[in-house]
């Protein structure tokens, strides 16, 4: 089942180059014909602190992190503050070696840098006994020494790659190619020497293990990128040329990518004083005729509440992205969670009228960001893309052709000057921007843009009449409220007809279901495959449309199963609550498997969770929570 796969974990301190090394490793494996998927874990610190990345590689497509890992490259934390002392957080320098080494699979390889980590210290952490018990192959190597011989200490990671290649019997060709592509001059030469020396040294050790790195090939050109890349590229391809933001993890990633690229696409990026301003700027740019976005993470998004409500009331299109991290408050800044769903759905005063999409993977990040822009500008409504630190940071390969799409810069329901001349005007001279009953019979009243002749109107957060003047007339109030809210029904119909964002997996006639939203989808799908192999009858539904909710699709699916387990990364079952609220029933059919310890689910955890829920047993694992269906 998962035997023929490599899950290579590189662990070190923040600043040790773990991220870039893992990216190179993943890319090289992709070049060699494999499919790759990365899982990133890092502390909220600039220098030091245990950081690791897992690169999972298989010949078949990979859509999730795996269960544990079978190869650990432990560089040690060279930025540890008190390397030799027992610190408050444990022995920091050693942490990349011993912290959760329990997850190293039986028969796995553990390669560590004895150039940095003292063998005596390593003895103290009980490695020897653990290795014996689990049949691990422990390989100490002086990676630091090899690095220093040819270059600088930081090249320990290149040495680690060379040694990994030798132990796993992977060709160094692709790594060489990468080094040549990314570096030049002395730097390139030194790294190549380090790579080769480490390879030679490790080959001589003749490590005897059972890990088989699969071989594969791609039938079309692949690209490797992150969810943040895909969201940014979706925005650019949909004509977004304005972004405003304030840094906050993990949202910063999208903001950075957009800021780096927008000027070369003729666009504008603005880093501003706070998130209230960030959202307000996006509104201002959109009001003036430009497709605009902003975004943040939990706390910053909270500051955007009021501009978000203003966008709803003035029917000014904007796209916001919300990159979730573990809350409440500052929470765990670099850890993933899916606990901002209710925040994003309901924040800001009054009845909310917004669109919320939760893409489940990199592919969907691209397509659903494009959908968000199309819907926002066609229907004059704020659209939010909600994702989490997991999708933001994970890399995955997919065919380049997925991005071979035509751009669409259509600003949506905006009139040209000629059209404004023929459109309705009030006797005050104002253009009728907010008609109770738009001429085409829809609920969208087309807008004008400042600077257009005879298009002037007042946009206001107060309730307003068709020309925008403040009005508290009850009949006008009802007409405007209904029109604004009815847009959501139109959007639902549009999505049902044009672009289903929901993903179905597993046998259609299965007895049981697993319902999932956002980033846990791939992991759930892998678990469903295993459960079926184990003899269970299970299927899954991944939901992306949080608002307007896909009532028909989910009802139909829930009707087709006896029971459903809802899997999400939060403590209060927010998506299950939403589903129950939207559908008005099924509370007695849905139980929850929840995880909120800062780490995303592993497929085996979902398998266990499902099996114990079916058997009515207590969950064995303490890192998850099971909440039974109502009445159970």
Partner 1 sequence: MSAFSAINEEREIERDEFTPGIEPQATWCPGCGDFGVLKALKQAMPEVGKNPDEVALFTGIGCSGKLNSYFNSYGFHTIHGRSLPVARAAKLANPNLEVIAAGGDGDGYGIGGNHTIHTARENHDMTYIVFNNEIFGLTKGQTSPTSPKGHKSKTQPHGSAKSPIRPLSQQLNAGATYIARTAAVNPNQAKEIIAEAIEHDGFAHIDFLTQCPTWNKDAKHYVPYTDVQQSDEFDFDVSDRAEAAEMMRKTEERLYEGEVLTGRMYIEDERPSYGEEKRQIGEMPEEPLAERYFDEDAEWERTYDNLLEHHK
Subset of 224-263 contacting partner 1 (CB under 8 A): 224-225, 229, 233, 236-237, 239, 241-242, 244, 261, 263
Which of these ranges, 385-393, 454-462, 477-485, 551-559, lies near partner 1 under the rule CB under 8 A? 454-462
Of residues 526 through 585, those in contact with partner 1 by CB under 8 A are none
Q: Pick from 204, 206, 406, 497 the residue near partner 1 by CB under 8 A.
A: 406
Q: Pick from 174, 270, 340, 388 the residue near partner 1 by CB under 8 A.
A: 270
Q: Pick from 221, 497, 508, 618 the residue near partner 1 by CB under 8 A.
A: 221
- Is the Cβ of residue 417 or residue 489 nearer to partner 1 in the bound state? 417
Helix or strand run (H / E) with residue 40: strand 35-41
Cα-to-chain-centroid distance, residue 239? 22
CB of 240 to partner 1, least distance (A): 11
CB of 297 to partner 1, least distance (A): 19
Beta pairing class for 6-13 and 69-76: parallel
Helix axes 143-150, 156-168, angle to 10 degrees: 120
Are the C-beta atoms of 278 and 252 separated by less than 8 Å? no
Whether residue 250 is preceded by a cis peptide bond, meaning omega within 30 degrees of 0, is: yes
Are the C-beta atoms of 386 and 421 separated by less than 8 Å? no
Are the C-beta atoms of 114 and 140 separated by less than 8 Å? yes
Closest C-alpha to 516, from 390, 397, 401 = 390
**Under rule CB under 8 A, residue 307 binds partner 1:** yes
CB of 597 to partner 1, least distance (A): 32
Calculate the alpha carbon distances from 234 to 261, 304, 346, 362, 571 in Å: 13, 22, 25, 11, 31
CB of 176 to partner 1, least distance (A): 17
CB of 260 to partner 1, least distance (A): 10
**Under rule CB under 8 A, residue 317 binds partner 1:** no
SS3 86: coil
- Is the Cβ of residue 127 or residue 385 nearer to partner 1 in the bound state? 385
DSSP 414: B
Which of these ranges, 8-16, 403-411, 520-528, 537-545, lies near partner 1 under the rule CB under 8 A? 403-411
Closest C-alpha to 583, from 540, 631, 551 = 551
CB of 403 to partner 1, least distance (A): 5
The pair of three-digit structure tokens given for residue 428, joined into one six-digit string: 């005050």
CB of 511 to partner 1, least distance (A): 41
Q: Pick from 332, 345, 458, 627 the residue near partner 1 by CB under 8 A.
A: 458
CB neighbours of residue 199 within 10 Å: 23
- Is the Cβ of residue 172 or residue 226 nearer to partner 1 in the bound state? 226
- Is the Cβ of residue 151 or residue 412 nearer to partner 1 in the bound state? 412
**Under rule CB under 8 A, residue 281 binds partner 1:** yes
Are the C-beta atoms of 430 and 469 separated by less than 8 Å? yes
Q: Pick from 462, 482, 498, 623 the residue near partner 1 by CB under 8 A.
A: 462
- Is the Cβ of residue 96 or residue 412 nearer to partner 1 in the bound state? 412
Of residues 407 through 436, those in contact with partner 1 by CB under 8 A are 407, 409, 411, 414, 416-417, 426-430
The pair of three-digit structure tokens given for residue 140, joined into one six-digit string: 């100490």
Closest C-alpha to 104, from 204, 201, 211, 15 = 211
Strand partners, 72: 9, 110
- Is the Cβ of residue 125 or residue 179 nearer to partner 1 in the bound state? 179
Q: Give the binding-site size for partner 1 (rule: CB under 8 A).
A: 78
- Is the Cβ of residue 264 or residue 329 nearer to partner 1 in the bound state? 264
**Under rule CB under 8 A, residue 405 binds partner 1:** yes
**Under rule CB under 8 A, residue 276 binds partner 1:** yes
- Is the Cβ of residue 176 or residue 463 nearer to partner 1 in the bound state? 463
CB of 388 to partner 1, least distance (A): 21
CB of 405 to partner 1, least distance (A): 7
Rounded CA separation 279/243 (Å): 9
Are the C-beta atoms of 55 and 346 separated by less than 8 Å? no
Rounded CA separation 304/295 (Å): 9
Residue with the two structure tokens 């990468």: 178
Are the C-beta atoms of 417 and 453 separated by less than 8 Å? yes
- Is the Cβ of residue 379 or residue 557 nearer to partner 1 in the bound state? 379
CB of 290 to partner 1, least distance (A): 4
Q: Pick from 60, 274, 552, 562 the residue near partner 1 by CB under 8 A.
A: 274
Are the C-beta atoms of 312 and 353 separated by less than 8 Å? yes
Q: Pick from 152, 177, 180, 453 the residue near partner 1 by CB under 8 A.
A: 453
Q: Is the four-CA dihedral 103, 518, 220, 222 of positive or negative sign?
A: negative
**Under rule CB under 8 A, residue 454 binds partner 1:** yes
Of residues 117 through 146, those in contact with partner 1 by CB under 8 A are none
Rounded CA separation 327/298 (Å): 8
Rounded CA separation 440/438 (Å): 6
The pair of three-digit structure tokens given for residue 626, joined into one six-digit string: 């099971």
Q: Pick from 436, 469, 477, 551 the residue near partner 1 by CB under 8 A.
A: 469
Q: Pick from 133, 265, 473, 562 the residue near partner 1 by CB under 8 A.
A: 265
Q: Pick from 95, 291, 325, 505 the residue near partner 1 by CB under 8 A.
A: 291
Calculate the alpha carbon distances from 79 to 15, 50, 125, 466, 625 in Å: 7, 10, 20, 62, 36
Which of these ranges, 13-21, 184-192, 451-459, 512-520, lies near partner 1 under the rule CB under 8 A? 451-459
**Under rule CB under 8 A, residue 314 binds partner 1:** yes
Are the C-beta atoms of 501 and 544 separated by less than 8 Å? yes
């Amino acid at each position: 089942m998962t035997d023929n796969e490599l899950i290579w974990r590189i662990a070190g301190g923040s600043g040790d180059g773990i991220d870039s090394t893992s990216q190179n490793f993943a890319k090289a494996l992709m070049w060699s014909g494999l499919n790759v998927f990365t899982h990133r874990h890092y502390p909220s610190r600039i220098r030091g602190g245990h950081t690791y990345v897992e690169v999972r590689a298989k010949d078949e497509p990979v859509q999730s992190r795996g269960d544990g890992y079978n190869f650990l490259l432990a560089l040690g934390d060279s930025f540890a503050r008190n390397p030799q002392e027992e610190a408050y957080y444990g022995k920091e320098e050693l942490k990349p070696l011993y912290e959760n080494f329990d997850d190293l699979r039986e028969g796995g390889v553990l390669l560590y840098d004895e150039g940095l980590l003292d063998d005596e210290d390593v003895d103290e952490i009980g490695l020897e006994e653990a290795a014996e018990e689990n049949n691990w192959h422990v390989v100490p190597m002086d990676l630091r020494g090899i690095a220093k011989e040819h270059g600088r200490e930081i090249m320990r990671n290149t040495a680690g790659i060379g040694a990994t290649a030798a132990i796993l019997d992977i060709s160094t060709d692709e790594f060489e190619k990468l080094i040549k592509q990314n570096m030049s001059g002395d730097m390139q030469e030194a790294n190549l020497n380090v790579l080769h020396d480490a390879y030679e040294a490790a080959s001589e050790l003749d490590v005897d293990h059972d890990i088989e790195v699969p071989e594969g090939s791609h039938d079309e050109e692949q690209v490797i990128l992150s969810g943040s890349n895909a969201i940014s590229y979706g925005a650019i391809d949909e004509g977004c040329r304005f972004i405003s933001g304030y840094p906050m993890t993990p949202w910063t990633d999208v903001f950075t990518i957009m800021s780096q690229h927008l000027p070369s696409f003729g666009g504008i990026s603005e880093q501003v004083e706070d998130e209230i301003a960030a959202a307000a700027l996006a509104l201002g740019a959109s009001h003036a005729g430009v497709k605009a976005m902003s975004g943040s993470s939990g706390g910053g998004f909270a500051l955007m509440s009021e501009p978000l409500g203003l966008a709803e009331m003035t029917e000014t299109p904007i796209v916001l992205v919300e990159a979730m991290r573990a809350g409440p408050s500052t929470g765990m800044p670099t850890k993933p969670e899916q606990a901002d769903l209710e925040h994003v759905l309901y924040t800001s005063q009054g009845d909310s009228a917004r669109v919320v999409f939760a893409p489940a993977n990199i592919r969907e990040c691209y397509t659903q960001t494009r959908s968000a822009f199309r819907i926002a500008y066609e229907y004059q409504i704020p659209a939010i893309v909600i994702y989490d630190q997991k999708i933001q940071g994970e890399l995955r390969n997919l065919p380049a052709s997925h991005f071979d799409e035509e751009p669409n810069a259509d600003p949506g329901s905006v009139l040209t000057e000629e059209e404004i001349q023929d459109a309705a005007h009030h006797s005050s001279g104002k253009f009728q921007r907010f008609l109770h009953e738009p001429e085409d019979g829809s609920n969208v009243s087309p807008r004008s843009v400042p600077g257009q002749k005879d298009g002037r109107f007042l946009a206001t957060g107060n309730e307003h009449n068709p020309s925008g003047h403040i009005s508290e007339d009850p009949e006008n109030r009802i007409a405007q409220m209904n029109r604004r809210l009815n847009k959501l029904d139109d959007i639902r119909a549009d999505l049902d007809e044009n672009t289903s964002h929901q993903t179905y997996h597993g046998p259609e006639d299965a007895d049981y279901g697993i319902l999932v939203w956002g980033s846990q989808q791939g992991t759930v799908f892998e678990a469903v495959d295993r459960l079926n192999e184990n003899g269970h009858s299970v299927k899954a539904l991944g939901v992306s449309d949080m608002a307007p909710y896909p009532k028909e699709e989910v009802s139909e699916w829930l009707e087709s199963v006896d029971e459903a387990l809802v899997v999400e990364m939060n403590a209060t079952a927010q998506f299950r609550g939403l589903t129950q609220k939207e559908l008005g029933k099924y509370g007695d059919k849905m139980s929850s498997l929840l995880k909120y310890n800062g780490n995303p689910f592993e497929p085996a955890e979902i398998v266990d969770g499902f099996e114990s829920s079916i058997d009515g047993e207590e969950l064995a694992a303490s890192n998850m929570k099971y909440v039974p269906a109502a009445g159970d």
